[in-house]
């Protein structure tokens, strides 16, 4: 089987020309915002857990 790779940007152009796709995508905006906030918070907690360069712990 010979598969062709399609860049996501090219596929997205087609997807966003579909009104049904756009409506569903926009309906998920709140969920995307929650996921983004959780990821950002997780990254911030990870940074707090890393020791400072002077050897003292920051945060936890």
Tell me the domain boundaries of the chain: 9-48
Question: Of all helices (H) and strands (E), which one includes residue 39?
Answer: helix 29-49
Distance CA 15, CA 7 (A): 13
**φ and ψ at 10, to 5 degrees?**
-70, -40
pLDDT of 48: 83
pLDDT of 60: 52
pLDDT in tens, 1-60: 688 899 999 999 999 999 999 999 999 999 999 999 999 999 888 888 877 665 555 555
């Amino acid at each position: 089987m010979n598969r062709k790779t399609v860049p996501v940007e090219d596929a997205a152009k087609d997807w966003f020309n579909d009104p049904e796709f756009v409506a569903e995508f926009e309906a998920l905006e709140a969920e995307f915002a929650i996921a983004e906030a959780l990821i950002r918070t997780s990254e911030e907690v990870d940074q707090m857990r890393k020791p400072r360069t002077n050897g003292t712990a920051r945060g936890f």
